[in-house]
Amino acid sequence: MNRAYALFLLLLAAATAPLGAAGLELDIPEALAPSWRSILVEHPLPTGLEIVGQGGSERVSMERLRQGAAPGPGMRRIVERTFLAPVGRLGQAERSTGEVLPIESIRLPSVALPVDGLFPGQPGYSLVEETALGIEGSDPALQAWFESIPEAPSTEEAGAVLWIGAVGDIMPARGVDELIQGPRGLQRVFGDTLPLLESCDVLLGNLEGAATRRGVKAAKTYTFRFDPGALAMLAQAGFTHLSLANNHSFDFGETGFLDTLEALEASGISAPGAGRNTAEAGTAREIAAGGTTVRVLSFGAYPVDRMGFDGRRTARATAARPGILWLDDESLAAAARQFGPDTFDVAMVHGGEEWTSAPTPGQQRLYRRLIEAGADLVIGSHPHVLQGMEAMGGGLIAWSLGNFLFPGMDGTKGGEDSAILRLGVYRGAIRYVQSYPVRLKGGTVRRQVTEPAPAGVPPMGVP
């Protein structure tokens, strides 16, 4: 134990201990002093114990153990578990820097890496440090104090990672809606990407088009409409949130938009950033998963198209009109009011320029303002091709994830290449970043395997 800390405890005890108090010896290593002080805040030592340097009749000790190591003698219990991981860098796949740190201290652009293909909370994960508290002696007050201190949560509970998945544009028309609702539809459409989608606790995508059989076709170059029954299949694949804040949700007018909202609600998929009025569109969709509350908002920020379709004027929700949330100062302020330190906050944005491989300066300014407003994750769409990622303020921006499921892109430069982004959130922040390359083929999508998979983990790649 640190001598200065021990002297402080001795002086404190000498000032408060009654005459005839039992002698209490403390064996607390300096590295565990913060843990010890945290215990004392909730569980002060009983009166009648005088802290002495050595040779006390009663003894309290703490020690740090690697998982599986046997604690020392005396009544012992695990009061704290700390999970560690090898450290990598964003965009460098599984290349370790050589460091091994507590996971909660690993912050972007550093990332945690799996251990033998395992993650915290999974049986067999080996990088776990446990803090054991013990007592020796016969003082009944000390024994009662010890029994009042709770055991740390189990390895599975304390190490649980929340997995958030995100994909790019989904446009289930041009026969995809029929295929996905047919025999083995999910397997035929998603193939080897399906287990990865299903592994996510929260799964996000951008839904292009209207789920309707009604409405008047808009005067646009491209309009998309698909069978509403396809949405139930997307829900089965694991999708929890699909954004309508894009330039195709009004392809069949307000009627088609409202039909799409109703079809999503019927399928159990949330539609952040869309609603029957401004208040509904501007309310973050909330989901509880893995002990974490996740809030999602979606925004339109796309330019006027060459046929003159202006989403800000035509598709934006008002107090009296259904539509989408537009990204501006007003909606940024609304996001800041709803995003907070006790939630994991996601912003999905449909913006930037189509068919460009890098974000525009305006796109960068807007998306970074969302991080400043409290977003932990910003997912972009609209360019139809992959763009990069950026770490900022502990959060992550994925500028564009390209076309995930979008038939008709055959032969377009970059239009068939996409990625599934899988993020591991631990104690409220992104610690794991995994990107899995995928490729469109007609109305189906398949993974592009670039390297052998670690045990129990799908192969990883970097977009």
Summarised one tens digit per residue, pLDDT across range 318-366 is 999 999 999 999 999 999 999 999 999 999 999 999 999 999 999 999 9
| Residue numbers of the domain that contains 436 | 162-447
pLDDT band at 67 (very low <50, low <70, confident <90, very high): low
Q: Which of 111, 31, 26, 102 is nearest to 60 (CA)?
A: 26
For residues 424 and 426, give the distance between their C-alpha atoms in angstroms, rounded to a whole number: 6
265: in domain = yes
Same domain, 211 and 285: yes
Specify the pTM. Answer: 0.87
Summarised one tens digit per residue, pLDDT across range 386-424 is 999 999 999 999 999 999 999 999 989 999 999 999 999
For residue 140, pLDDT over 80 is answered with yes
Same domain, 88 and 193: no
210: in domain = yes
| Region 352-381 average pLDDT | 96
Same domain, 297 and 323: yes
Last residue of a domain, one of 126, 158, 190: 158
Same domain, 117 and 170: no
For residues 293 and 428, give the distance between their C-alpha atoms in angstroms, rounded to a whole number: 9
Last residue of a domain, one of 110, 138, 158: 158
Tally the C-alpha atoms within 13 A of residue 320's C-alpha that lie toward its C-beta: 0
For residues 434 and 440, give the distance between their C-alpha atoms in angstroms, rounded to a whole number: 19
Contact 412, 393 (CB under 8 A): no
For residues 177 and 141, give the distance between their C-alpha atoms in angstroms, rounded to a whole number: 69
Same domain, 217 and 355: yes
459: in domain = no
Contacts for 269 with CB less than 8 Å, ≥ 6 apart: 231, 234, 235, 239, 240, 241, 242
| Region 88-107 average pLDDT | 91
Same domain, 189 and 78: no
User: Can you say how many angstroms the Cα of residue 373 is from the centroid of all Cα atoms in its chain?
Assistant: 17
CATH assignment at residue 184? 3.60.21.10
Phi, psi at residue 184, to the nearest 5°? Answer: 50, 35
Q: Which of 33-37, 147-151, 152-156 has the lowest mean pLDDT?
A: 152-156
Q: Which two tokens stand for residue 233?
A: 């299949």
Last residue of a domain, one of 158, 191, 218: 158
Summarised one tens digit per residue, pLDDT across range 6-44 is 434 433 443 344 434 578 999 999 999 999 999 999 999
Same domain, 267 and 379: yes
96: in domain = yes
For residues 400 and 386, give the distance between their C-alpha atoms in angstroms, rounded to a whole number: 5
| Region 363-385 average pLDDT | 97
Same domain, 111 and 34: yes
Burial of 348 (0-12, 13-18, 19+ CB in 10 A): buried
pLDDT band at 290 (very low <50, low <70, confident <90, very high): confident
Same domain, 43 and 85: yes
Same domain, 152 and 166: no
Same domain, 184 and 332: yes
246: in domain = yes
190: in domain = yes
Q: Which of 261, 254, 329 is nearest to 299 (CA)?
A: 329
414: in domain = yes
Same domain, 103 and 190: no
For residue 459, pLDDT over 70 is answered with no
| Number of independent structural domains in the chain | 2
53: in domain = yes
